[in-house]
A = this chain, B = another copy of it.
Amino acid sequence: MATTSPRTEVDECARGDAALTRAFSLLGKRWSGVVLGSLKSGPAGFRELSRAIDGVSDSVLSDRLAELARQGLIVRAVDAGPPVSVSYALTDAGQALMPALEQIARWAQEHLPEPG
């Protein structure tokens, strides 16, 4: 810490970074980060995501997709068929997060022990 500071730096954003907190009120929910990451290679349907992600339950996936859409990170597009198909895709805001996710993935490869 600061060696010679009589002042309180506590009021700074040093600790309690509001933006990070905000980000993790989303990303800190199970699967939301992975869902976003799964969308980076292009739009996908519900079932496709469900199978790709492996471990997430339908109900939670549904929740996460709804919440991410509500937050404007992804969009739900319905293509009236006749075979009606639904697809989820990243918005600009969602895309903007991809570099960070890629960085996290790279970090995990280097610094996170393998599962097992």
User: Quick check: B85 and A4 within 8 Å, CB to CB?
Assistant: yes
Closest to A49 in B: B15
A59 lies within 8 A of chain B by Cβ: no
Chain A residue total in the interface (Cβ 8 A) = 64
Please indicate which of the listed interface residues A20, A41, A51, A52 has the most CB atoms of chain B within 10 Å of its own CB.
Answer: A20
A103 to B99, CA, bound (A): 8
A10 lies within 8 A of chain B by Cβ: yes
User: Quick check: A28 and B26 within 8 Å, CB to CB?
Assistant: no
A72 to B93, CA, bound (A): 32
A4-19 interface (Cβ within 8 A of B): 4, 10-11, 14-19
